Amino acid sequence: MVKKRVPDWLNSSLWSSTPPPDEDRFNRYSSKPTTTTTTDDDDDVVSTTTTSTAGASASDPPRLNPPVPVPPPSLPPLRREISDDSRFSEDVVNGGPSAEDISRQAQLLSELSKKVINMRELRRIASQGIPDGAGIRSTVWKLLLNYLPPDRSLWSTELAKKRSQYKHFKDDLLMNPSDITRRLEKSSSHDNDESSYESRCLLSRSQITHGEHPLSLGKTSIWNQFFQDTEIIEQIDRDVHRTHPDMHFFSGDTQFAKSNQEALRSILMVFAKLNPGIRYVQGMNELLAPLYYVLKNDPDEENVACAEADTFFCFVELLSGLRDNFCQQLDNSVVGIRSTITRLSQLLKEHDEELWRHLEITTKVNPQFYAFRWITLLLTQEFNFADSLHIWDTLLSDPEGPQETLLRVCCAMLILIRRRLLAGDFTSNLKLLQNYPPTNISHLLYVANKLRTQPSA
């Protein structure tokens, strides 16, 4: 059988790098930044990537109140918030924002200042990466996720309506049954001889219906539903406490961190109750964290105060295109996660059959062993937090949803380390793919975009 010829552009030394000397640096949960310099065999490309997962400062970031985002200070505050040590920031290493970042930021600010925003142009600019600073990412993400309408004159009305709606969701769905019982008691009329019960906010025995009794097993019983929810609530609580334990923003004993954890917990609980078909699936907390972080770091005080409500609706919009990946009943369907992983395998075969054959035929590395996490968590576990935000800029900019762009990025991740994969066996390749090495994110996204326009072999 004649093998397909590998296209010349795949043989470029741009796509691969020599193995680093120490695999231990892949520990992405270290609180200390590590710098890795990667050089390919032909010395064509040298990329320096510094990984930092130290936490954000426990205090709220500086806040302004402009109607439209304004140009940022010389040092981007968002990356400073991600880590107290900004040595990994390319802007800091180069002595400030690059000319390209400044130009892109100016384009975004210009677009955001228009009365009616051109979404096609906004997506084009944002797909190249949103410069950190001045709340640009927060505003742009809300637009990309269709939470804000393109017409700026409608923003205040839409925000007020959605924020009020979320408050009602919390009041109705997160209330303890005891509180519901007390509400029913307050709204009902009582005989004078039962005034003592009223003053103590308790129902008399005769007024407690079967459905309101804590021992009721009826399907409509609010107490029975409460106890059924307990398992999900406990899972959410465990996962929230495990969310980015290396970042002070999400973890620690400070009141700021605890309030952020409580916001994540409330959002996930409300989502689970409003979506009984999916409820909560482990890993949703990892998709929620970047959204909440970005929106909570908005420089506008009102937006910060309402970050929980805004994040909830952005989270709903994000999962609307990904929910099939979290529905176990659809795992084996044409829209389930296994089908999505198969599409990634086919994409790799189309663009690099030699690598595909080595992975899946020779070394028998099943794509599910590594791609399941890549796809379901949108690569949040494969790169440091700042790099994940950069990748999400591109994913959220796709008008068709993040799925197709995500598959191209995953395929590009394989191509970038093809030389190491082709030289490896099952064990080494699986370890490499489950602990993806640091890489230049801009270059990764460039390769992913190349796959969109480059015809397959």
- Looking at the fold, whether 267 and 293 belong to one and the same domain comes out as yes
Over residues 237-249, mean pLDDT = 95
Over residues 321-342, mean pLDDT = 73
- Looking at the fold, whether 293 and 225 belong to one and the same domain comes out as yes
- Looking at the fold, whether 263 and 402 belong to one and the same domain comes out as no
- Give the end-to-end CA distance of the chain in Å, rounded to a whole number: 16
Count of alpha carbons within 13 angstroms of residue 30, beta-carbon side: 13
Structure token digits, residue 232: 């999900």
Domain assignment of residue 25, yes or no: no
Q: Which residue has the higher pLDDT, 178 or 64?
A: 178
CATH number of 339's domain: 1.10.472.80
Residue 364's pLDDT is what?
A: 96
Residue 276's pLDDT is what?
A: 86
CATH number of 108's domain: 1.10.10
What lies within 8 Å, CB to CB, of 335 at 6+ separation is 324
Question: Which residues constitute the domain of residue 115?
Answer: 101-153
pTM of the shown model? 0.73
Q: Which of 284, 317, 350 is the last residue of a domain?
A: 317
Residue 257 clears pLDDT 70, i.e. is over it? yes
- Looking at the fold, whether 234 and 291 belong to one and the same domain comes out as yes
**Coil vs helix vs strand at 282:** coil
Domain assignment of residue 348, yes or no: yes
pLDDT in tens, 278-299: 889 999 999 999 999 999 999 9
For the CA atoms of the chain, what is the radius of gyration? 25
Q: Which of 317, 341, 371 is the last residue of a domain?
A: 317
Residue 97's pLDDT is what?
A: 74
CATH number of 305's domain: 1.10.8.270
- For residue 4, CA distances in Å to 171, 351, 352, 355, 452 come to 61, 10, 9, 12, 20
Q: Which residue has the higher pLDDT, 54 or 395?
A: 395
- Looking at the fold, whether 343 and 447 belong to one and the same domain comes out as yes
- Looking at the fold, whether 299 and 338 belong to one and the same domain comes out as no
How many independent structural domains does the chain possess? 3
- Looking at the fold, whether 308 and 333 belong to one and the same domain comes out as no
Q: Which residue has the higher pLDDT, 47 or 408?
A: 408
- Looking at the fold, whether 170 and 287 belong to one and the same domain comes out as yes
- Looking at the fold, whether 164 and 278 belong to one and the same domain comes out as yes
- Looking at the fold, whether 291 and 388 belong to one and the same domain comes out as no
Q: Which residue has the higher pLDDT, 400 or 182?
A: 400
Q: Which of 265, 291, 317 is the last residue of a domain?
A: 317
What is the Cα–Cα distance from 115 to 133, expressed in whole angstroms? 22
Residue 206 clears pLDDT 50, i.e. is over it? no
- Looking at the fold, whether 291 and 432 belong to one and the same domain comes out as no
Domain assignment of residue 33, yes or no: no
What is the Cα–Cα distance from 41 to 422, expressed in whole angstroms? 14
Domain assignment of residue 162, yes or no: yes
Domain assignment of residue 10, yes or no: no
- Looking at the fold, whether 166 and 307 belong to one and the same domain comes out as yes
Domain assignment of residue 430, yes or no: yes
